[in-house]
Structure formats: C-alpha cells, structure tokens
Amino acid sequence: MSYGTNILRFLGLLICILTISCSKDNTLQISVNSDEGIWLQELTSPKYNGRKTGTIECTMAKDYIVEELYKLGYTPKVQTFNFKDSITMNNIIVDIPGEIDSLVIIGAHYDGAVASKYYQAATDNASGVVALLSIAKHIGHSKFRTKLCFWDGEESTSNLVFNGSKYFVNSEVDKHRIRWYCNLDCCGRLNDDIYLYYSQSIQDLCSNAYELVSTYDNPNFNILKKIQNNRGSDYVPFMNAGIPIWGWNDCSTLKFNHTIDDRQDKVSISKIQYISTITLKMLQFL
Ligand SMILES: [Zn+2]
C-alpha cells in the first residue's frame, strides 16, 4: 500500500467524519444555547404529558409560560374560564401599549392534542409558542397597542375547537378596535417551506409588508403565499367576527400531526427565529 493511498484514505475518513458531524448538526437543531432552544426543550418535556387542555400538566405549562414572561419584564394576565364539562382553561395575555390605540393581536396555542408523556406536541404547537415568546423578547416599542396571547383549548375538547381564542374574541371589550389578528400555529417544522397566509381583505397589505422586509436574509426558506379559508386554527373565531387575519404555517401536509412522532427533532429553531424576526419587521408596515 503506497503512502499516497494512505493519505487518500485518511482524507476520505476525515471527510466522512466531517459530513456525519455536519448532518448531525443539521438534524439536531435543539440547542440550549438560545432562549428559543431552552423554551422548546422545556415545553416538549415529558413532564407536561402532551399539555392536553384541562390536565394538571397543561396548567404547569401555563405556569411556565407566565414565569418566562415575567422574566422578560412583563406582567401577564391569565384569563381563566370554565368550559363545557367543567374544564378550566387559561389564556395568557400580555398587553403592550402603543402610540396608536388601534389593537393588534398575535397568538399561539400552547395546549396539545393528546395526553401522553410520549407526545411532545412540538411542531403543533410548541413551535408557535416559542416564536411568540421570541417576539415578546424582542418587540420593545410598538406602534399599535399589541396583545400577545397564548391560547388554551385550541385542540378538540368535547368536540369543540379554538376554545381559548373563541372565548377571547367573545369577551374582548375592545374588539371593535382590533386591526388584525396574526396566528402562529405549526410554524417551526424542519423543512424549507413556509406559508404566509392572510384574509383576502388584507392580501395586498400583508403581501406588500412582506416584500418590504423580505430582504432580511435567510435564503433557506421558501415563502409561499396564500389566501386562508376560515377553518383550521385560532384565526377562525377572529374571521367569524369579521376581523382580518394573517399568519404563518407549514404543516398543511403533516402526516405526524397529533401523533407521538411530532417531536422536537422535527422542529427548526432557526425557522422559528426567522418567523419571529420577519413578523416583527412586518409590524412596521401593517
Ligand atoms: Zn395547532
């Protein structure tokens, strides 16, 4: 065996090792080096047992989100209500004053579909909750009065859905002031596609706002735009009340939704960070 062959073998092995470590880094996105990674790690932990509405573990998840919001300097309000079959639900609301007394709302549901320690409810919807916490961390000054809402009861309970957001819309005294609602549900899946969706009435507004900020550089993500119909997530109660909606989504073809395969290794922290950043940039033009 020649010296040259040995060198080639060594280089081949080195390339192999480097490839394996790189692909490992690309698939294992969860790093506790960022707040987003820490939040995702915590919310998908087995101790929350899938965060099913009405369970003690869902209440624990609520307490964790409230605690993190306090750490970010907010005083969140918990909107508690009793649902059918005596289930207690809790929305968490952060109210941020703005220069203009028009109200905008950004929401994500924190409950999961199944009570199981094997069910992490990672893309649906720890990813949206983490994106909303990231927005809370970075929003600072706001043009419009802004409510950041963490919804309970989005998933089916007693055959009804969107219970937290529905309760909010029905009880919001400033409903007439709501300019739009932005929804973050299943927005952090580890793939390259992201849907930016909107009501037809604000199609141009949203599309133009995105175009104005799209120079923010993250070429890995392919942004697809669509007009949203009124089914699927917490934007429905807002649409039904005649309020324009928009949001981000990437799971319309998810096969693992509501199964134990919806795990944190299906989530991209960099996509969550991209969505929270681009949303904050779009707020200037919406
Ligand atoms: Zn969801």
How many A from CA of 184 to the centre of ligand 1?
Answer: 9
Residue 157 pLDDT: 86
Rounded distance from Cα 262 to ligand 1 centre (Å)? 11
Ligand 1: distance of its center to the CA of 140 in Å? 27
Average pLDDT (47-61) is 97
Q: 67 alpha carbon to ligand 1 midpoint, in Å? A: 22
**pLDDT mean over 166-177:** 94
Beta bridge partners of 87: 83
Q: Contact 147/93 with Cβ under 8 angstroms?
A: yes
Q: What separation in Å is there between the alpha carbon of 71 and the centre of ligand 1? A: 26
Tell me how far the alpha carbon of residue 266 lies from the centroid of ligand 1, in angstroms.
15
Q: Which amino acid is at 109?
A: H
Note the pLDDT of residue 86. Answer: 84
Cβ partners under 8 Å of residue 215, min gap 6: none
pTM of the model: 0.88
Classify residue 102 as left (phi > 0), alpha (psi -120 to 50) or beta. beta
What is the C-alpha separation between 197 and 186, in angstroms, rounded?
Answer: 13
Q: pLDDT: is 18 or 56 the higher one?
A: 56
Q: What is the rounded CA–CA span in Å between residue 152 and residue 91?
A: 5
Q: φ, ψ for residue 204 (rounded to 5)?
A: -70, -40
β-pairing verdict for 87-96 and 77-83: antiparallel
* pLDDT digit string, tens, across residues 214-269: 876 666 788 899 999 888 899 999 999 999 999 999 866 668 889 999 999 999 99
Ligand 1 center from residue 188 Cα (angstroms)? 11
In this model, does residue 5 exceed pLDDT 50? no
Query: Residue ranges of the alpha helices (H) in the chain?
Result: 3-27, 35-43, 56-71, 127-138, 163-171, 203-213, 235-240, 269-283
SS3 186: coil
d(CA 259, ligand 1 centre) in Å = 12
What is the token pair recorded at 33?
A: 């080096």
32-283, superfamily in CATH? Zn peptidases (3.40.630.10)
Least confident of 16-30, 50-64, 134-148: 16-30
Residue 59 is predicted with a pLDDT of 98
Q: What is the mean pLDDT of residues 177-204?
A: 94
263: CA distance to ligand 1 center in Å? 14
Distance 19 CA to ligand 1 centre (A): 35
Q: Which residue has the higher pLDDT, 167 or 157?
A: 167
As given in the structure block, the two tokens for residue 246 are 């928009």
Q: How far is the CA of 251 from the centre of ligand 1 (A)?
A: 9
Mean pLDDT computed over 75-85: 91
Listed by start position, the domains of the chain span 32-283
- Residue 219 C-alpha from the chain's centroid: 20
* pLDDT computed for residue 2 by the predictor: 40
pLDDT the model gives residue 218: 65
Q: Measuring CA to CA, which residue among 93, 129, 136 is closest to residue 108?
A: 129
State in Å: Cα 186 to ligand 1 middle.
Answer: 6
For residues 166 and 237, the answer to whether their CB atoms sit within 8 Å is: yes
Burial 96-123 (b: 16+ CB within 10 A, else e): beeeeeebbbbbbbbbbbbbeeebbbbb
pLDDT confidence of residue 31: 62
| Residue 102 confidence class, pLDDT cut points 50, 70, 90 | very high
Asked if residue 149 has pLDDT above 70, the reply is yes
Three-state secondary-structure class, residue 76: coil
Q: Does 50 score more than 70 pLDDT?
A: yes
What number is the average pLDDT over the span 69-85? 93
Dist CA 97 CA 11 (whole Å): 59
The answer to whether 120 touches 264, Cβ cutoff 8 Å, is yes
Angle between helices 269-283 and 203-213 (to 10 degrees): 110
Examine the pLDDT at 28 and tell me if it is beyond 80: no
Say which residues have a Cβ less than 8 Å from residue 86's Cβ, sequence separation at least 6: none
pLDDT of residue 100: 85
180-189: average pLDDT: 95
Count of positions (residues) in the chain: 286
- Output 65 or 32, whichever has higher pLDDT: 65
Ligand 1 center from residue 174 Cα (angstroms): 26
The pLDDT of residue 71: 98
